[in-house]
Amino acid sequence: MITSRRMAAVDLNAEALGVPRKQLMESSGNAVARACRDLADPGASVAVVAGRGNNGGDALAAARFLKAYDVTVHLLGRPETISTDIARENWDALVAGEADHRTVTDSAGFDLGDPDLVVDAMLGTGVTGALREPEATAARAINDSSATVLAVDVPSGVDADTGDAAGLAVDADRVVTFHDDKPGLGDLDCEVVVADIGIPEAAELFTGPGDLLALDRDAQSHKGDHGDVLVVGGGPYTGAPALAAQSALRAGADLARVACPEAVAREVQGYSENLIVRGFSGDRLAPEHVPDLLDFAADRDAVVFGPGLGDADESLAAVREFLAAYDGTAVVDADALQVVPDVDTEATLICTPHQGELRKMGGETDSDWEVRSDLVREFAADLGHTLLVKGAYDVVSDGDAVRVNRTGNPGMTVGGTGDVLAGATGALAALLAAEAFGGGLVATDLLERLPAALRGDEA
Ligand SMILES: NC(=O)C1=CN([C@@H]2O[C@H](COP(=O)(O)OP(=O)(O)OC[C@H]3O[C@@H](n4cnc5c(N)ncnc54)[C@H](O)[C@@H]3O)[C@@H](O)[C@H]2O)[C@H](O)CC1
Ligand SMILES: [K+]
């Protein structure tokens, strides 16, 4: 099952792995033609009703594989309005090949005829809102016809993620959808066939440029939209919390605050005027600080716990008490990690251990990244939290899905990169908690974005 947003990311990852979109469209077209051959005998009349996007492009490619049929292609719109190069190239090839093609520029001009089979390729995952014209008139004509209806990827008008239709939608007999089933197709009263279009498994397993799509910022956003991050750390070390907080800003947080012992507050503030530093009494975190910290954290979008905190018993006791009472989103790193396995919490935790810290948490690791992936997934499932285990190949899992980031380099073992990663991860968590997901953030929503944090990419 894959959402449209994830499909777009996988599509882009496939391209980065050397499988360009036009090749995917050719595979989709071939899959559509196979479905046509399954639904209608050679010589049958086929009406391809194509939209101006890649959904239409798939069917324009399919038409080339249907030589044994009497195919008429209806393009809903002028050819120059076709929205992608790959779809337009498929249209141009049809025209050059003297295929029977028509362009429909207004509803009155649409005449479906009386085909044996209709290929509905007006709209796929790019639909927004109720069908406009001439798609609406075409959908009514398709639904009123006696033809068998094959929908490309998703029946036009249906939202592939929810199965809902904002208004009129094509009533298909069969849907041929690509790469993986879509959440919104399960409840449709039609047969759904999933066609493999040659997207490499690596496009889903390994992080790539597609995973950054979700970080595109809403241009209208304003301060505070993109998350307010609190780093709780410092004590024996002062650079770590400052690194984590600055990394949060670099990764897109609007505000980065540091709660650290009074004894080092001035030093931490000294690292950067961009940080809002707040000291708590004494020279290390202790249980008496927890009530205030919980109040302070309640108004933040995400907390990063641990950079430079040290492992004094009273500091670890304070981490345990905080997490037991906290129900927001927290990244847990460094010495605070050892507390996680034995604390029962409502919080959404993202733990960012290196392999030594993973073992200290009670997890197992392995030098083979594939074996390590299974071990991390199992341990994340046991913990009930997301794990991001750093290594030459970083493994991210929420106990269900697994993603692997192989873009690191040996130089990243230098001290401080863990603090940078924890801060960047906190920013992405804050962005999601504050905006796109409201309170409904679930760990898997982060999975696709954490790898971007591994690279400390600017959002
Ligand atoms: N990722 C993959 O696996 C592949 C998907 N393919 C196919 O690509 C479509 C998605 O294509 P896209 O261009 O993004 O969008 P659509 O073609 O679905 O529609 C965009 C098109 O439609 C217009 N439009 C939007 N809403 C409406 C509306 N309510 N009424 C009328 N017109 C509307 C919009 O203006 C655009 O012009 C996917 O479904 C697959 O079929 C790839 O080909 C293969 C890999
Ligand atoms: K469609």
Q: Is 362 annotated as a binding residue?
A: no
- The answer to whether residue 12 sits within a structural domain is no
Residue-number span of the structural domain to which 333 is assigned: 218-444
Ligand 2 centre and the CA of 14: distance in Å?
A: 22
| Predicted structure pTM score | 0.87
Q: Is 459 annotated as a binding residue?
A: no
Q: What is the best residue among 140, 153, 192 to mutate for testing ligand 1's pocket, by most ligand atoms within 8 Å of CB?
A: 153
Q: Are residues 74 and 180 in the same domain?
A: yes
Q: Are residues 135 and 246 in the same domain?
A: no
Q: Is 252 annotated as a binding residue?
A: no
Which pLDDT score is estimated for 222? Answer: 62
Closest protein CA for atom 39 of ligand 1: 124
Q: Are residues 223 and 348 in the same domain?
A: yes
Q: Give ion ligand 2 contacts, CB < 5 A.
A: 120, 151-152, 156
Ligand 2 centre and the CA of 15: distance in Å?
A: 23
- The answer to whether residue 325 sits within a structural domain is yes
Q: Are residues 160 and 243 in the same domain?
A: no
**Cβ of 125 less than 6 Å from ligand 1:** yes
- The answer to whether residue 4 sits within a structural domain is no
Ligand 1 centre and the CA of 123: distance in Å?
A: 5
Q: What is the CATH number of the domain that holds 160?
A: 3.40.50.10260
Ligand nearest to the CA of 190: 2
Which pLDDT score is estimated for 442? Answer: 41
Q: Are residues 291 and 411 in the same domain?
A: yes
- The answer to whether residue 7 sits within a structural domain is no
Among residues 74, 76, 9, 77, the alpha carbon closest in space to that of 45 is found at: 74
Tell me what ipTM this predicted complex has.
0.97
Domains of the chain: total: 2
Closest protein CA for atom 33 of ligand 1: 127
Q: What is the CATH number of the domain that holds 308?
A: 3.40.1190.20
Q: What is the best residue among 54, 88, 177, 204 to mutate for testing ligand 1's pocket, by most ligand atoms within 8 Å of CB?
A: 54
Ligand 1 centre and the CA of 324: distance in Å?
A: 46
Ligand 1 centre and the CA of 263: distance in Å?
A: 58
Which pLDDT score is estimated for 375? Answer: 98
Q: Are residues 165 and 233 in the same domain?
A: no
Q: Are residues 160 and 276 in the same domain?
A: no
Ligand 2 centre and the CA of 122: distance in Å?
A: 5
Q: Are residues 237 and 102 in the same domain?
A: no
Domain's final residue, options 146, 167, 198 = 198
Backbone angles phi, psi at 448, to 5 degrees: -75, -10
Question: How many whole angstroms separate alpha carbon 188 and alpha carbon 214?
Answer: 28
- The answer to whether residue 203 sits within a structural domain is no
Residues 6+ apart with CB under 8 A from 257: 228, 229, 230, 231, 245, 275, 276, 277, 278, 296, 300
Q: Is 130 annotated as a binding residue?
A: yes
Q: Is 101 annotated as a binding residue?
A: no
- The answer to whether residue 309 sits within a structural domain is yes
Q: Are residues 187 and 243 in the same domain?
A: no
Q: Are residues 277 and 402 in the same domain?
A: yes
- The answer to whether residue 235 sits within a structural domain is yes
**Which residue(s) pair with 152 in the sheet?**
176
Q: Are residues 269 and 361 in the same domain?
A: yes
Per-residue pLDDT of the chain (459 residues; tens, 9 = 90+): 999 999 999 999 999 999 999 999 999 999 999 999 999 999 999 999 999 999 999 999 999 999 999 999 999 999 999 999 999 999 999 999 999 999 999 999 899 999 999 999 999 999 999 999 999 999 999 999 999 999 999 999 999 999 999 999 999 999 999 999 999 999 999 999 999 999 999 999 999 999 988 777 655 556 566 699 999 999 988 999 999 999 999 998 999 999 999 999 999 999 999 999 999 999 999 999 999 999 999 999 999 999 999 999 999 999 999 999 999 999 999 999 999 999 999 999 999 999 999 999 999 999 999 999 999 999 999 999 999 999 999 999 999 999 999 987 777 777 788 999 999 999 999 987 765 544 334 444 455 556 555 565 544
**Cβ distance 65 to 38 under 8 Å?**
no
Tokens of 305: 């716990």
Three-class SS state of 165: strand
Q: Are residues 168 and 256 in the same domain?
A: no
